[in-house]
């Protein structure tokens, strides 16, 4: 439902303009016998989430098609978005604005980008963030290319637990260049196996994802140590930015570059896009960073202003000096993410992350009681891998007909994980939703 921004003072001012003293005066032409004088029978105060659920339950009593209950994450996550964010983001001056080619004229756009950069740095524990890239996959590929430019080495090691689509984009980026991509396998605990790095030299970067594709939280400290030993840059990728409301941020674990998908930060899933590539690094690497960077300054009168400080793409500087061919930033998506982070605040993001963690653990416990195996014992966030019996496919298809999507089959991405499904729970799932899923699996 729409966010209503009008205060009592706003309403009084508008009534004065139209020449009536009260809201009742607006309806003076309505016949008396058509007016309802007694108060409406409404429930008590509700949170925005509770109100949306209440409205959905009322809608379910009508002849409408119920929506699916989807327990799939895998890089795209269903989160509640405050109505205030959607209302502000829908303003025409934001929706119609394009990347500024005379940037200093567009102070509002530049300030929005600057606020986004600042909030991203706080969330990830980094020193500088750019004005966003296309998506998490292209951000990872650009991070690896940046590491290659800095180290002058031609081999990168990436974890097999980075999102499969991200790894495919990395191969597409690097295949024509002749750079070598080494894939690190995963161990029995669902984390990256670093032992294969023993004796490996000439590495430009080591890249892992945390939480990884299985939902397991990687130990970033040992990865940092391995990167120092090999002289490689340490890159942390992510698909679920909300996790860093609860987890130790990558910057505090020694990451040189942090990149990933920002869809969780206030962007609807929208059948796969548009999304938001988040990219942050340390200040010493700022001139090697792709994309744009907005800075804050003052003019000659001391008035605050915002400027496009860095734009290292081919349209702005000589081709041989360009760090990438990224042609624009996802400006509206970045602005939405900034609005979302500012709306929740540090404490709100922490509480939301805890709620996501707790709900996923609740489902995990229910499935264990139902006799199912949770494949990996490592701590997880939001999602986890479940091993089902060989005969689960008919049950999965039956649940689909009941409009329940019981996870993502992993066999197409990891052939050795036949009958394994990636399950995800966010704050959008109620106890009743989880109970329905478990009952459907058991029946």
Q: Tell me the per-residue pLDDT of 123-182, one tens digit each, with 9 for 90 and over.
A: 999 999 998 888 999 999 999 999 999 999 999 999 999 999 999 999 999 998 889 999
Per-residue pLDDT band for 13 (boundaries 50, 70, 90) equals very high
Cα 61–Cα 3–Cα 10 angle in degrees, nearest 5:
130
Tokens 């209503």 locate to: 4
Tokens 């594709």 locate to: 213
Partners of 298 in the β-ladder: 304
Per-residue pLDDT band for 406 (boundaries 50, 70, 90) equals very high
Per-residue pLDDT band for 199 (boundaries 50, 70, 90) equals confident
Q: What is the pLDDT of the chain when averaged over all its residues?
A: 90
**Could you tell me the strand order of the sheet in which 128-129 lies?**
128-129, 277-281, 257-261, 233-238, 203-209, 155-159, 180-184
- Identify the weakest region by mean pLDDT among 64-68, 165-169, 198-202, 293-297: 64-68
Q: Which sign does the torsion angle of CA 42, 48, 49, 53 carry?
A: positive
Domains of the chain: residue spans and CATH = 69-80+353-442 (3.90.1150.10), 83-341 (3.40.640.10)
Reference 114, options 244, 292, 251; nearest CA is 292
What global pTM score does this model have? 0.84
What is the Cα–Cα distance from 323 to 314, expressed in whole angstroms? 8
- Residue 42 pLDDT exceeds 60: yes
Per-residue pLDDT band for 1 (boundaries 50, 70, 90) equals very low
Secondary structure class of 289 (helix, strand, coil): coil
Instruction: Return the percent helix, strand and coil in the chain, to nearest 5.
Output: 45, 15, 40
DSSP letters spanning 85-96 = HHHHHTSHHHHS
pLDDT, tens digit (0-9, with 9 covering 90-100), for 109-125: 889 889 999 999 999 99
Question: Is 145 exposed, middle or buried, given 0-12, 13-18 or 19+ CB atoms closer than 10 A?
Answer: buried
Length of the chain: 443
Let me know: does 333 contact 266? Beta carbons within 8 Å.
no
What is the Cα–Cα distance from 159 to 237, expressed in whole angstroms? 10
């Amino acid at each position: 439902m729409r966010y209503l921004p009008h205060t009592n003072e706003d309403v009084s001012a508008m009534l004065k303009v139209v020449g009536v003293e009260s809201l009742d005066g607006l309806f003076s032409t309505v016949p008396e016998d058509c007016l309802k004088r007694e108060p409406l029978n409404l429930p008590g105060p509700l949170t925005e989430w509770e109100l949306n659920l209440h409205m959905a339950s009322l809608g379910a009593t009508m002849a409408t098609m119920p929506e699916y209950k989807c327990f799939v994450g895998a890089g795209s996550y269903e989160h509640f978005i405050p109505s205030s964010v959607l209302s502000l983001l829908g303003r025409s001056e934001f929706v119609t604005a394009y990347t500024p080619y005379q940037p200093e004229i567009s102070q509002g756009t530049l300030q929005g980008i600057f606020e986004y950069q600042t909030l991203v740095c706080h969330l990830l524990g980094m020193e500088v963030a750019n004005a966003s890239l296309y998506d998490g996959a292209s951000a990872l590929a650009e991070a690896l290319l940046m590491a290659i430019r800095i180290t002058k080495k031609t081999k990168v090691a990436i974890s097999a637990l980075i999102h499969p689509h991200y790894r495919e984009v990395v191969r597409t980026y690097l295949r024509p260049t002749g750079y070598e991509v080494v894939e690190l396998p995963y161990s029995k605990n669902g984390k990256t196996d670093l032992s294969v790095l023993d004796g490996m030299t000439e590495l430009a970067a080591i890249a892992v994802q945390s939480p990884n594709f299985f939902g397991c939280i990687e130990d970033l400290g040992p990865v940092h140590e391995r990167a120092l030993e090999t002289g490689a840059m340490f890159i942390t990728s992510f698909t679920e930015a909300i996790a860093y409301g609860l987890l130790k941020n990558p910057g505090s674990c020694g990451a040189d570059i942090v990149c990933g998908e920002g869809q969780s930060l206030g962007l609807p899933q929208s059948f796969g896009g548009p999304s938001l590539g988040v990219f942050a690094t340390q200040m010493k690497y700022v001139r090697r960073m792709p994309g744009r960077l907005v800075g804050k300054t003052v003019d000659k009168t001391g008035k605050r202003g915002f400027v496009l400080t860095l734009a290292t793409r081919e349209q702005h500087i000589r081709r041989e000096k360009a760090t990438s061919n990224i042609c624009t930033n996802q400006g509206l998506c970045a602005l939405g993410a900034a609005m979302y982070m500012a709306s929740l605040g540090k404490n709100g993001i922490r509480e939301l992350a805890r709620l996501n963690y707790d709900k996923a653990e609740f489902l995990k416990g229910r499935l264990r009681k139902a006799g199912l195996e949770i494949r990996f014992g490592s701590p997880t966030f939001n999602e986890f891998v479940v091993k089902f019996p060989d005969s689960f496919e008919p049950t999965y298809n039956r649940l689909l007909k009941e409009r329940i999507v019981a996870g993502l089959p992993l066999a197409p991405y990891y052939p050795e994980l036949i009958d394994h499904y990636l399950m995800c729970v966010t704050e959008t799932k109620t106890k009743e939703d989880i109970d329905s899923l478990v009952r459907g699996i058991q029946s």
